Structure 1
């Protein structure tokens, strides 16, 4: 038996849990004076059995269920103690709910105090217990009749426990070291001692740890397992750790020890829970509740995504919990919900995500989101999170802290995603960052759209610098590393253009050359006034392809810089305006104007004058009367 196994006691007050531990191990777990005087367990106690078994004694009184929860949060097997003379009692049922919600499915029922009842009564009680266990999903659980006082049945109980321990499998766990603290005290000559169950990895003398949620760091001065000093403690073992430093945090029950920077704390989390068969009262949204995570208890408010206005018994809900303070949890952790007042267990389940994004019912398929988180695929979870990271880049460390996973495991998944081109990897300030490929493409499209809007508004500007773009994109919550990568990606793909420190949705160098050419074409038409050259002549003069000149002339016409005269040739808008001004002055003194007067003003040949007169008539600037013109409506 080389693995370490933790057995958690459970059961109603005065059903003999502590006495049964004493009968098994010879150890008295009631360590408080008040416990010994009152004959009840108030806080959790510990006993060591065989070489690698820890038995945790928990209180059965309803007032101390919070301590019971701290005790069973990390056990492998349960030993449910039920007194034969009392049978199933309220705390029996509540403790069974708690075991179920914490995922402790393997165990044994010790039917204690059989020396106080006859065989017929014992048979009835045993049948009640079997029905209770099966109704709660605990099938084929051994029920062992014992007496902690006379030691009757203790040998059989020991044999059954050893058999159960041999069958117990602790799931493989490659997460970083984590130990929730269930006891914390000062020892003369040693200083701060904390105890708990190592949930993952290992801790060794000399290691630096972080105390969450406070965040202070401390050093490991010594480690004990089964009251023996060891070099290290590993997953599944009960450990006592002597700490130096971190006194500002005052580590206490509910604190969690982890490697520095390996885990995020949270103010909100998502969880999937199942309610008990009987709820104490109508549980509505946003009501306060006691939330148990590991050895910690928090006050929080919760809501759920299902349609029910109030929780119903025996139903599954996907809840969002908002804590009154910083909490410590990781995806997959058991969670227990107890009503605020009167305090009783109402639901339990497991954590899906810490610090989750906003999931609005009308915008997000929350059911699909939660379904993926409930699955066992870390790869699918990672893809989902990338989608909800939005327009922000993340580092390997960011993901490791959010999911509480080892760097090697996350790095392996990220490398695979980069190869599949679903994620982009880039370096920013000496750290590797990662971006969802689809979000990157979306971002470039948004950047182009915003650039076009802004540069059309500020026509004098050729481009926008990084700071201007960052401010414009603030509503999209774009991070600086993400924007830097998006700009570089857009430039590389030819979707964006950069000149010095400025970015544009169009090629600024080409745009500059085009603007210069447009200006030259415009000047030609200004200089030639009413005798403009045709496009072939302009192209030859500027040594450009006539197609390019035609495109520029059309652009200038769309901008109303040039005016097409009946499709024959172009005049500059300023030249046309000069003609309009001449005609207005003339008509202010005369009713008619002769062609000779117009020809004299424009100083041009018949080739240009005739199309010009037709243009003036067709557009309503003049009206033809014989060989003369009178004022039209548009002049």
Structure 2
């Protein structure tokens, strides 16, 4: 060009046979003198298909005179670059002239998506073979974490992976202190709170990798520290002992949960944590929304019912009432519970042996 190119000049952009309008954003100066070279970001008015290394030409909007040309360094920038930022200029220089390892490392440094190797190839302009080799070199140097699953490879910088793990561990420490009776931090809640950028499948892979590395433990529903075991403190254990004794003494005539809480001097709302713990550990069994039995008593009920059905072949509500020395109030929901558990199956007013007894 015969005159300087000023920042944000409107231009015509030519790449191959495509033409579109746009503006030139100079990243390290206010104007580019004739014959000079600089890094710039092109803000196009319409999409253009480009690959790293593609050559392009720009011409003035009006009159239509050739200004100069350039080379595509980053065809898929994640954001608009800030001007006069040394880190931006260094990053562009790396993308332009860096090694495959440097390009891959730079791409992953700003990526929290746990991308596949194929995504990294598209984002860096490298071939998949180059990404594979670079990933192997970075892994060997302790800089990269590769998570492999079903023939696919997901990539994260090692320090990013460890910072994620550290973030989770700190959250788990707090959660276990606050909820010592719970199995652990619910997985979906953890994902939605800290890892919204990851879909459920990728998040599960990340957790399993951390578990294999001994950083945490994973169950079907929760995440917990390696050393954590849910359990009551001394005061809670006293309450549990009282509850178990009341339920054992009551046998097949248990009080409601509300009545249980009243007897042991425990707030019903606060007791919900304790209730869930007792249900999860099997020390209590839920029959209906407000009817709970001792786990030991339910084992006895199942044994007596199974023996009766093997001998008699059928049972009624009244029959179970007499068998367990309870009342119809408890016998009916118990039979409905055993229906759900496939111990019995209802035929009219009678129960016959269910699938679980076959």
User: TM-score normalised by the shorter chain: which range applies?
Assistant: 0.5 to 0.7
Q: Does 1:417 align with 2:156?
A: no
Instruction: Please point out which of 103, 108, 113 is paired with 1:392.
Output: 113
Query: Using the alignment, how far apart are the partners of 2:17 and 2:148 within structure 1?
Result: 40
CA distance in 1, matches of 2:13, 2:207: 45
Change (3 A) 1:425 1:521: same
Q: TM-score, normalised by structure 2?
A: 0.57
Distance change (3 Å), C-alpha of 1:337 and 1:518: farther
- Partner SS state of residue 392, structure 1: coil
Q: Report the counterpart of residue 381 of structure 1 in structure 2.
A: 103
Higher Rg of the two aligned structures: 1
Decide whether the 8 Å contact of 1:392 with 1:479 is kept in 2. no
Which segments of 5 or more consecutive residues in structure 1 lack a partner in the other structure? 1-275, 525-635
User: Does structure 1 residue 294 correspond to structure 2 residue 16?
Assistant: yes
Give the equivalent residue in structure 1 for 2:236.
519
Deviation at 1:440, TM superposition (A): 0.5
Residue 503 (structure 1) aligned with residue 231 (structure 2): no
Partners of 1:462 and 1:508 within 8 A in 2 = no
Aligned equivalent of 2:304? none
Q: 3-state DSSP class of the match of 1:365?
A: helix
1:284 matched to 2:16? The reply is: no
Whether the 8 Å contact between 2:169 and 2:216 is mirrored in structure 1 is yes
Per-residue CA distance 1:367-413 (angstroms, 9 max, x = gap): 21112112152232122112122x22222322333344443333233
Contact in 1 for aligned 2:101/2:137 (Cα 8 Å): no
Give 3-state SS (helix, strand or coil) of 1:354's partner: coil
Counterpart check, 1:355 vs 2:76: yes
Task: Please state how far the C-alpha of 1:277 moved relative to its aligned partner.
Answer: 4.5
Name whichever structure is richer in strand by fraction: 1
In structure 1, what is the Cα distance between the partners aligned to 2:7 and 2:239? 73
Q: Matched residue of 2:131: which SS?
A: helix
Partner of 1:490, secondary structure, is: helix
Decide which of 73, 83, 90 is 1:368's aligned counterpart: 90
Deviations 1:604-626 (A, max 9, x none): xxxxxxxxxxxxxxxxxxxxxxx
3-state SS of 2:11 partner: strand
Aligned partners of 2:121 and 2:128 also within 8 Å:
yes
Whole-Å separation in 2 of the counterparts to 1:405 and 1:397 = 10
- Once structures 1 and 2 are overlaid, which stretch shifts more, 405-414 or 453-462? 453-462
Cα distance, 1:331 vs structure 2: 1.4
Cα deviation, 1:579-628, whole Å, max 9, x if unaligned, reads xxxxxxxxxxxxxxxxxxxxxxxxxxxxxxxxxxxxxxxxxxxxxxxxxx
How far off is 1:363 after superposition?
8.2
Displacement after TM superposition at 1:478 (Å): 4.2
CA distance in 2, matches of 1:388, 1:372: 14
Match of 1:321 in 2: 42
Structure 2 unaligned segments of length 5 or more: list them: 242-358
**What residue is the counterpart of 1:441 in the other structure?**
162
Contact map agreement 1:331 1:353 (CA 8 A) in 2: yes
SS state at 1:381 partner: helix
SS of match in other structure, 2:6: coil
SS at match of 1:370: helix
Residue in 2 aligned with 1:467? 188
Show CA shifts across 1:165-205 (max 9, x none): xxxxxxxxxxxxxxxxxxxxxxxxxxxxxxxxxxxxxxxxx
- Counterpart secondary structure, 1:341: coil
Give RMSD over aligned pairs.
3.3
- Secondary structure at 1:352 match in 2: coil
| C-alpha contact 2:217 2:225 (8 A) present in aligned 1 | yes
| Matching of residue 333 in structure 1 with residue 54 in structure 2 | yes
Closer/same/farther in 2, CA of residues 506 and 483 from structure 1, 3 Å limit: same
Cα deviation for residue 441 of structure 1 reads: 0.8
State the TM-score, normalized to the length of structure 1.
Answer: 0.34
SS in 2 for 1:353: coil
Task: Give the aligned partner of residue 234 of structure 1.
Answer: none
Q: How many residues align?
A: 240
Q: Which residue of 2 aligns with 1:402?
A: 123
Alpha-carbon separation, structure 2, partners of 1:431 and 1:493: 19
Q: Secondary structure at the match of 2:236?
A: helix
- Normalized per residue, the structure richer in helix is 2
Report if the CA contact (8 A) 2:107-2:124 is conserved: no
- 1:488 correspondence with 2:208: yes
Cα distance in 1 for residues equivalent to 2:235 and 2:109 = 45
Supply the distance in 2 between the matched residues of 1:518 and 1:507 (Cα, whole angstroms).
22
- Give the match for residue 559 of structure 1: none
Tell me the alpha carbon deviations over residues 419-458 of structure 1, each in whole angstroms, 9 at most, x when there is no partner.
3332222234552222221211111122233445566677
> Residues 288 and 301 of structure 1 are in contact (CA less than 8 Å); yes or no, is this contact kept in structure 2?
yes
- Contact kept in structure 2, 1:301 and 1:321, CA below 8 Å: yes
Whole-angstrom distance in 2 between the partners of 1:364 and 1:450: 35
Once residues 192 and 127 of structure 2 are traced to their aligned partners in structure 1, the CA distance between those partners, rounded to angstroms, is 36
